[in-house]
A and B are shown apart, each in its own frame.
Chain A
Amino acid sequence: MHGRRSRFLTVMITLGLAFFYIPMILLVVYSFNYSKLVPVWGGWSTRWYKVLFASEEVWGAVSLSLKIALVNASFATIFGLLAALSMVRFGQFRGRTLFGGMLVAPLVMPEVITGLSLLVLFITLRQVFGWPENRGFATITIAHITFSMAYVAVTIQARLTGMGQSLEEAASDLGAKPFKVLTAITIPRLMPALVSGWLLAFTLSLDDLVIASFVTGPGATTLPILIFSRIRLGLRPDINALATIIILVVAVCIAIAALIMFRQQKRDLLDQQLAKHVK
């Protein structure tokens, strides 16, 4: 029971949401603008979409970004899961504070610093080991996994602590060894968090500009790098078209993730209510 929402608060929410969405809506609207000068309206047209689809550069960048994102999301989810389990379920172990710190730091650290340090690492590695010879797909992916993993870990940690251990304890009581409990009980129950963690890592990777700029090499242009180089020079309607497509895709992905988490919440609520009755 939190009381009613005053008019002031309602106004603030409306203004806030308008503030968030009007720029994006305009972005979409102008993607259909016939005129080349973005803010000047010249009539409805889809010509920029055609320009966009015709560009080889764009397709190259899209495919590279997607590849990186896929690999990154998968590995980041696995590592993030392992990290979250370690932090939440394993109690105290040597180096726990350090580990926890390393998991939180990427979330807060300015990207230029992470990017710079990773580039420096790769260069040093090349000096000492000869690898990586050329920076690009591999280095970007490694960089992305490193920071995505932190985000995934936080997501899963939250879910893990919220989930409670009673089911795991029941399984243990019935004779299941800890590893079995993990694979048969914990991980299946974490599925929604794993899925949303994967999506989070995927999106972060697709969106990353700064870190990718630092650790990339010749020939490896990701989508954000491409967009950035184009918009630095000014406004371009084909970028608006690209933006529209991206917004659409992301919205759909989020909706799916939100739905999954929502259903999980409902199921949890039901479980809790049942538990109350059993008592």
Chain B
Amino acid sequence: MNEQTKSVNRTSAEPRSLLPSRVGRQIQKHWRLIVITIPFVWLLLFFLLPFFIVAKISVAELKIASPPFSNMFEWTDGGIVTVRIVFDNFIYIMTDNLYFDTYLNSVKIAAVSTFFCLLFGYPIAYGIVRSGPLAKPIFLFLVILPFWTSFLLRVYAWMGLLSDQGTINSILIALGIINEPIQMLYTEFAVYIGIVYTYMPFMILPLYANLEKLDGSLNEAAADLGSRPTNTFFKVTLPLTMPGVIAGSLLVFIPATGEYVIPDLLGGGNVQMIGRVLYNEFSRNTDWPVASAVALTMLFLLVLPIIVFQYYQGKSTGGK
């Protein structure tokens, strides 16, 4: 790599470029820089910068104005800048029970859902790994396909299944198991099903990737040394799939905490999750500072898991 970089700078014989102008030659010379810069700048502008603005708003005061918050910098007549930074918003959300409880509730729901995704996803991933060479890509295709059909519509499908006049209740009543429909829609239970249903592929795929790379002879060696299959699983297979378990869990847990659509459609007003609270705070109550503070806190509490995720990604791909 270093040699190639040197050769770009040392182009004594100018490469025949498509653009014979000076600009063309500059592009040829610095093409690497250009390649990096384009996406980099885009992300800085449209990904990083917004977060700084959010941070700025979170330390501002609510004002009846458009936009509805006070300015950080105010120029007074004497040309002096006063800086108004208010941490009230953060204090508010940390002391107000609603936010605290909602956040805890979100974490709880996300954690339980992650657990079930793992519980069901692991055997599925393992089963696919053990399948024949023809079945494997077919199974993977079948697992990935739902993930790519509309997320919204898949949640909608469960609305149809879980509602009081829905399929499940109808079947149960028809079979005589129950007389009255069971309330399933607009409960926390429905939210669990919704999250597990939509996020399961995110758990299965990293697990599959990890399991697939395992050396099959390790299982044989363990058996040869006298270990029964269950023991082999817990002592050999599971420890070696930890990176996959963690990657899958983070891919489910972190987005699930901030879920908005599922608690809204399947939970109705009954299930409070922080994603909905944020949306409501922002759009309905137009309390941007508070909403920003919530967003920032959420981000901070989730940033740590993201760093962990990055670390494990680096480990499994043997990052440079």
- Chain B associates with chain A: yes
On whether the beta carbons of A108 and B161 are closer than 8 Å, the reply is no
A243 cross-chain contacts in B, Cβ below 8 A: 150, 153, 156-157
On whether the beta carbons of B130 and A37 are closer than 8 Å, the reply is no
Known contacts A104-B313, A254-B148: A90-B306 contact under CB 8 Å: no
Q: How far is the CA of A210 from the CA of B275 in the complex (A)?
A: 10
Q: How far is the CA of A274 from the CA of B35 in the complex (A)?
A: 34
On whether the beta carbons of B282 and A23 are closer than 8 Å, the reply is no
Known contacts A80-B39, A86-B39, A231-B156: A9-B320 contact under CB 8 Å: no
Question: At the interface, yes or no: A103 with Cβ under 8 Å from chain B?
Answer: yes
On whether the beta carbons of A262 and B54 are closer than 8 Å, the reply is no
Q: How large is the interface on B (under 10, 10 to 19, 20 to 34, 35 or more residues)?
A: 35 or more
Question: At the interface, yes or no: B264 with Cβ under 8 Å from chain A?
Answer: yes
- Residue-wise, chain A 224-266 has the 8 Å CB interface mask toward B (1 for contact) of 1001100110010001101100110011011100100010000
B197 cross-chain contacts in A, Cβ below 8 A: 19-20, 23
How many residues on the A side are at the interface (Cβ–Cβ under 8 A)?
98
Question: At the interface, yes or no: B200 with Cβ under 8 Å from chain A?
Answer: yes
Within the complex, the shortest CB–CB distance from B23 to chain A, in Å, comes to 15
On whether the beta carbons of A207 and B137 are closer than 8 Å, the reply is no
Contact of A113 among B11, B44, B295 (CB under 8 A): B295
Known contacts A23-B154, A23-B197, A109-B254: A117-B216 contact under CB 8 Å: no
Which of A158-199 touch B at CB < 8 Å? Answer: 161, 172, 177-180
* Interface residues in chain A, defined as those with a beta carbon under 8 Å from any beta carbon in chain B: 1-6, 8-10, 12-13, 16-17, 19-21, 23-24, 26-27, 30, 37-40, 79-80, 82-83, 85-86, 89-93, 95, 99-113, 116-118, 120-121, 123-124, 127, 142-143, 145-146, 149, 153, 161, 172, 177-180, 200, 203, 206-207, 209-210, 214, 224, 227-228, 231-232, 235, 239-240, 242-243, 246-247, 250-251, 253-255, 258, 262
* Interface residues in chain B, defined as those with a beta carbon under 8 Å from any beta carbon in chain A: 1-2, 4-5, 7-8, 11, 15, 28, 31-32, 35-36, 38-40, 42-44, 46-51, 53-54, 57, 67, 120-121, 123-124, 126-131, 137, 139, 141-146, 148-154, 156-161, 163, 165-167, 170, 197, 200, 214, 216-217, 219-220, 250-251, 254-255, 257-261, 264-265, 275, 278-279, 282, 288, 291-292, 295, 298-299, 302, 305-306, 309-310, 313, 317, 320
